[in-house]
């Protein structure tokens, strides 16, 4: 984190070029990435204590060592994830970023851009503008992020927040919702990281802003 901040500062003073990712977006992005990683890896360890499906996660990719340790991590990192997520949502709406960047999403646009992407004809010349597939994926993953936090809260407090757990159809279903959201986030992460590596200047923009 420290090294990111330093290079950021240097870049800003050296070249006052067009900023693609404002500093607040970059900060919440990387804090979120870190918090998500902690949540997912500790979550896998928690899952292992009572698996929903016929498999468990290898201990080499889990965090916490045992259920108690994983719970400590999960219920600590959740604060980072939630506070950071709330800051992101608040600023996303307040600055108009969500409206400008993510809307409109049209079925036609998504289909056309998906075709273009699959035939490697999608343009990445202007990184400040998201194509329709990006808009859909980013809006989708934000929604999934909200649902995973709400389903997690409902399982954490099924009595105090019984209305929330009812909203998910009960405690047992909330567990599956929570797991499914995790799976969607991991799937998103795989695509997201792969594409960032495929278009390295997008990764650069998320680190130094331009």
Partner 1 sequence: MGRLRKLLIPGVDKKLLVRDAVKTMPELTRRRFITAGTSLGALTLLTGCDVVDSSSAEELLKKVSKFNDAVQAWMFNPDALAPTFPESMITKPFPFNAYYDLDDAPEIAGADWKLEVRGLVENKKSWTLDELYKLPQEKQVTRHICVEGWSAIGSWTGTPLRDFLKLVGADTRAKYVWFQCADKDGYNSPLDMRTALHPQTQMTFKFADQILPRAYGFPMKIRVPTKLGFKNPKYVLSMEVTNDYKGGYWEDQGYNSFSGS
| Interface residue list for partner 1 (CB under 8 A) | 1, 34, 37-38, 41, 45-50, 59-69, 71-73, 75-76, 79, 157-160, 162, 171-172, 175
Toward partner 1, which CB reaches closer, 135 or 175? 175
Report how far Cα 154 is from the mean position of its chain's Cα atoms. 20
Tokens coding 182: 């995790």
> Closest distance between partner 1 and the C-beta of residue 36, in Å?
11
Contact 26, 206 (CB under 8 A): yes
Is residue 36 packed enough to be buried (19+ CB in 10 Å), middle (13-18) or exposed (0-12)?
buried
Toward partner 1, which CB reaches closer, 115 or 157? 157
- Tell me the DSSP string of 166-180: HHTTSHHHHHHHHHH
> Closest distance between partner 1 and the C-beta of residue 181, in Å?
15
> Closest distance between partner 1 and the C-beta of residue 135, in Å?
30
> Closest distance between partner 1 and the C-beta of residue 68, in Å?
4
Toward partner 1, which CB reaches closer, 68 or 96? 68
Q: How far is CA 107 from CA 80, 133, 142, in A?
A: 35, 10, 19
Close Cβ partners of 13 (under 8 Å, ≥ 6 residues apart)? none
Toward partner 1, which CB reaches closer, 79 or 93? 79
> Closest distance between partner 1 and the C-beta of residue 158, in Å?
5
Toward partner 1, which CB reaches closer, 129 or 162? 162
> Closest distance between partner 1 and the C-beta of residue 162, in Å?
6
Toward partner 1, which CB reaches closer, 58 or 119? 58
Tokens coding 132: 């329709």
If you compute the radius of gyration of the chain from its CA atoms, what whole number of angstroms results? 19
Measured CA to CA, the distance from residue 180 to residue 85 in angstroms comes to 19
Is residue 77 packed enough to be buried (19+ CB in 10 Å), middle (13-18) or exposed (0-12)?
buried
């Amino acid at each position: 984190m420290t090294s990111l901040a330093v290079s950021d500062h240097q870049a800003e003073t050296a070249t006052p070029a067009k900023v693609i990712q404002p500093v607040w977006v970059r900060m919440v992005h990387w804090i979120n990435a870190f918090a998500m990683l902690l949540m997912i890896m500790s979550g896998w360890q928690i899952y292992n204590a009572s698996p929903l499906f016929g498999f468990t996660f290898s201990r080499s990719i889990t965090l916490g060592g045992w259920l108690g340790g994983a719970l400590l991590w999960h219920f600590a990192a959740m604060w980072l994830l939630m506070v950071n997520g709330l800051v992101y949502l608040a600023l996303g709406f307040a600055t108009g970023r969500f409206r400008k960047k993510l809307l409109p999403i049209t079925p036609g646009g998504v289909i056309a851009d998906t075709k273009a992407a699959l035939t490697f004809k999608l343009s990445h010349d202007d990184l400040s503008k998201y194509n329709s597939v990006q808009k859909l994926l980013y809006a989708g993953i934000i929604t999934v992020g909200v649902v995973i936090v709400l389903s997690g809260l409902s399982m954490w407090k099924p009595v105090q927040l019984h209305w929330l757990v009812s909203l998910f159809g009960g405690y047992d279903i909330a567990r599956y919702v929570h797991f499914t959201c995790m799976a969607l986030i991991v799937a998103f992460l795989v695509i997201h990281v792969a594409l960032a590596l495929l278009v390295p200047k997008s990764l650069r923009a998320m680190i130094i802003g331009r």
